[in-house]
């Protein structure tokens, strides 16, 4: 009898340890950039991943990295992928970002380029900090990074192709939490097909 009880207890302990070693690890604070959210509906699939500062520096470096700030505020950068079984239209200006009860629209290529042009080509703006923060930066390089990576204002998604780019939002200094991103898709004639709502910790 005692042997049976000991055997049963041993099996339970072994099973528990095995579950701990093979189960999914819980996400720790600061690791939220590792989470990828994927949603599908009406033949459209979207995936989104928040790129934290470490991921941004690993990908774009510490120099000529336009995703550090915007209008003196931090940026929230979302790596975004979309595909569709039929032709649909993505419109950047219709995307809405609700962060800590503050609603806003994405920062466009034009806006981000304009900001960094002021920082890097205006001598007064570039001389902040000690030494100057962006002394060795190149506006042409920064602009190329923006135009290559930030999503276009309007994009037609065709079947068989994954469209990848960055959604850029202005954050709030020293405040963190969950953001709600609303992303509508339209037919090429302008009719709303579906609206995705993504909740992402940033």
* Helices and strands (DSSP H and E) totals, the chain: 5, 11
| Rounded CA separation 63/2 (Å) | 68
Answer whether 166's CB lies under 8 Å from 149's CB.
yes
Q: Kindly report, residue by residue over 126-163, the tens digit of the pLDDT.
A: 455 434 778 789 999 999 999 999 999 999 999 999 99
> Is the previous residue joined to 131 through a cis bond, with omega within 30 degrees of 0?
yes
In 94-190, which residue ranges form alpha helices assigned H by DSSP? 109-121, 123-126, 139-149
| Rounded CA separation 170/14 (Å) | 49
| Rounded CA separation 132/143 (Å) | 20
Q: What global pTM score does this model have? A: 0.79
Ramachandran assignment for 190, one of left (phi > 0), alpha (psi -120 to 50 degrees), beta (any other):
left
Residue 128 has a pLDDT of: 52
* Beta partners for residue 5, in sequence order: none
| Rounded CA separation 33/131 (Å) | 31
Q: How far lies 64's CA from each of 52, 135, 151, 186, in Å?
A: 17, 10, 19, 35
Residue 121 has a pLDDT of: 81
| Per-residue tens of pLDDT for the chain, all 202 residues | 444 444 444 444 444 343 333 333 333 334 455 688 999 999 999 999 999 999 999 999 999 999 999 988 899 999 999 999 999 999 999 999 999 888 999 999 999 999 999 888 865 554 554 347 787 899 999 999 999 999 999 999 999 999 999 999 998 888 888 999 999 999 999 999 999 999 998 8
Q: How far lies 188's CA from each of 86, 157, 185, in Å?
A: 11, 10, 10
Answer whether 127's CB lies under 8 Å from 133's CB.
no
Measured in residues, the chain has a length of: 202
Supply 154's token pair: 């309007």
Structural domains in the chain, CATH included, are 34-201 (2.60.40.2550)
Q: What share of the chain is helix, strand, coil (3-state, %, to 5)?
A: 30, 35, 35
């Amino acid at each position: 009898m005692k042997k049976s009880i000991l055997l049963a207890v041993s099996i339970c302990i072994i099973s528990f340890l095995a579950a701990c070693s093979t189960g999914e690890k819980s996400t720790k604070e600061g690791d939220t950039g590792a989470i990828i959210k994927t949603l599908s509906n009406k033949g459209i699939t979207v995936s989104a991943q928040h790129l934290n500062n470490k991921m941004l520096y690993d990908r774009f470096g510490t120099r000529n990295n336009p995703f550090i700030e915007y209008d003196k505020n931090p940026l929230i950068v979302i790596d975004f992928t979309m595909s569709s079984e039929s032709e649909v239209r993505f419109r950047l200006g219709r995307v809405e970002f609700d962060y800590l009860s503050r609603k806003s629209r994405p920062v466009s290529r034009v806006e981000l380029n304009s900001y960094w042009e002021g920082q890097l080509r205006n001598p007064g703006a570039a001389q902040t900090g000690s030494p100057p923060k962006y002394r060795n930066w190149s506006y042409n390089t920064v602009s190329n990074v923006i135009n290559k990576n930030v999503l276009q204002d309007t994009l037609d998604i065709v079947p068989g192709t994954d469209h990848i780019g960055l959604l850029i939002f202005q954050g709030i200094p020293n405040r963190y939490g969950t953001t709600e991103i609303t992303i509508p898709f339209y037919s090429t004639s302008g009719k709303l097909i579906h609206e995705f709502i993504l909740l992402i910790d940033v």
